[in-house]
Chains A and B, each alone.
With several copies, the nearest count.
Chain A
Amino acid sequence: MNNGLGEDLFTLPAMPRPDMLTVSFDHWEGPLDLLLSLARTQKVDLREISILALTEQYLDFIDGAQQVKLELAADYLVMAAWLAYLKSSLLLPRQEQADPSPEEMALRLQLRLQRLHAMRDAAARLMARDRVGRDVFTRRKPEGLRLVRKALWRANLYDLIQAYGQIRARTQPVVHTIAKRPVMTLDEAIQRVSALVGTALDWTRLEAFLPPDLDSPRAKSALASSFVAALELARQGRLEIQQDGIFQPLYLRAATPQDAPGQIL
């Protein structure tokens, strides 16, 4: 807050008044700090302080300061303007007063000064306590307490046996056996389709030639084998295949005798 004031000592013009502060300007940390210092020259309890008198003191001080040094920190001038406003408000007839009332503004200022003063006092008392390393001392090189954590290993027999079982299982030679899958062989399908197609006089869907257990694992294999069987039988001229379009159902029927072999659709 005392930026720009440098190390210059600022003293008031020689006006030896007892309530006047004549110390360097950069002694203060800001307007509130300065106000508190001025207030304490009133030598009364801060609760009894006269805000009007304090305002006079502050404005006098700033006036004096400006005669010597024009570049006063803005904060101090803002506070001066605010205090001048507060002073005039306090002197106005009551009914013309604005909200918040000047009394409340003055009280707020007073409370702030009390609070700052209380903390300044508390800081001084705190610093004056018996402090470790200044007033009281602890051992300079304590040996220190040592807590050595020793692992207590836990394991049970089942874990041990299971571990061994897993090693043996993991390292056993692996034998691969190929599982026999439920399939319909092509021969089976040819036999089945050629037997059934003889009974079908009209176009019949391929699915009708499948065994009845369509949900069984054999179903897909039966469908594929029956399709290949149909192609084979058609090639041999023993049946005809018809399909209306791609992915449409396939229809089969027994070949009529005049059809030439190999003629499909």
Chain B
Amino acid sequence: MIEPDDFLRAVEAALFVAEAPITPAELRLHVGERGDLPAALVTLADHYAGRGVNLVERGGRWHFQTASDLAHVLRREKDEPRKLSRAAMETLAIIAYHEPVSRAEIEAIRGVQVAKGTLDVLMESGWVRPAGRREVPGRPLIYATSVEFLSHFGLSSRRDLPGMDDLRAAGLLDPIDLALEGLGGQSVLENDDD
């Protein structure tokens, strides 16, 4: 590598600190009148050609920019594992069991309103997709699960989802208030022990 002379170094430094693409005339204000500026710019552009940072000329102005193939480095996407909220999980379950369903239908089954963000999260996850509109007044959007949903949950089809009888057998249909009563009684006892 040829050692850059001081004029070349000055041009390089001036280009580096410039706030915006800079014309040779503006560069002259910094690096002075002596020195072959066009030659220096070409030499520098050559030097930086194969590197991570390139010197480019756009409409008579020069600036350093990162090589275009490295955009992914500068804007890196990072996956962050996150657990679905309870509301999202319930909404997903209703869509899976009842698809295609509208938001109003989901709310009717859940007995609770569905927040806007909940469906957004499910769509972002790729497990839920819009499946057209219901041909009723208001033409509400209807939702269904996706192929990604099946593969993520290890199902070959929606028919693999356990039916109501399976759920009951697994104790998953036990009324919640009974379970709560059990908990309540327990905590009272614990308090009495104090």
Residue from the set B67, B179, B186, B191 with the largest chain A CB neighbour count within 10 Å: B191
The interface centre, meaning the residue of A143, A155, A164 with most chain B CB atoms within 10 A of its CB, is A164
B74 and A126 form a contact (CB under 8 A): no
Known: A103-B189, A138-B65. A152 touches B80 (CB 8 A): yes
With contacts A104-B180, A126-B93, A150-B80 taken as known, whether A131 is within 8 angstroms of B152 at the C-beta atoms is yes
Interface residues of B in 74-118 (CB under 8 A from A): 74-84, 86-87, 89-90, 92-94, 96-97, 109-112
Q: How many chain B residues have a CB neighbour from A under 8 Å?
A: 74
List residues of chain B with CB within 8 A of the CB of A126.
89, 92-93, 96, 153, 161-162
Residues in chain A within 8 A of chain B (CB atoms)? 1, 29-33, 47-52, 90, 101, 103-104, 106-108, 110-112, 114-116, 118-127, 129-157, 159-172, 174
Residue pair B172, A165 in contact (C-beta under 8 Å): yes
| A155, B87: Cα distance in complex, Å | 13
CB–CB B84/A154 < 8 A: yes
The answer to whether A160 touches B180, judged by C-beta atoms less than 8 angstroms apart, is no
B30, CB-defined interface residue at 8 Å: yes
Query: Are B180 and A115 within 8 A (Cβ)?
Result: no
Q: Which residues of B contact A (CB under 8 A)?
A: 13-14, 16-20, 22, 26, 29-30, 63-68, 71, 74-84, 86-87, 89-90, 92-94, 96-97, 109-112, 121, 124-125, 127, 151-155, 161-164, 167, 170, 172-177, 179-180, 183, 185-189, 191-192, 194
Alpha-carbon gap, A256 to B172, bound state (A) = 66
Kindly list 11 other residue pairs between chains A and B, CB separation below 8 angstroms, not including A115-B109, A154-B81, A164-B167.
A32-B110, A90-B192, A119-B90, A133-B81, A135-B68, A140-B19, A145-B76, A153-B121, A155-B83, A160-B89, A171-B111
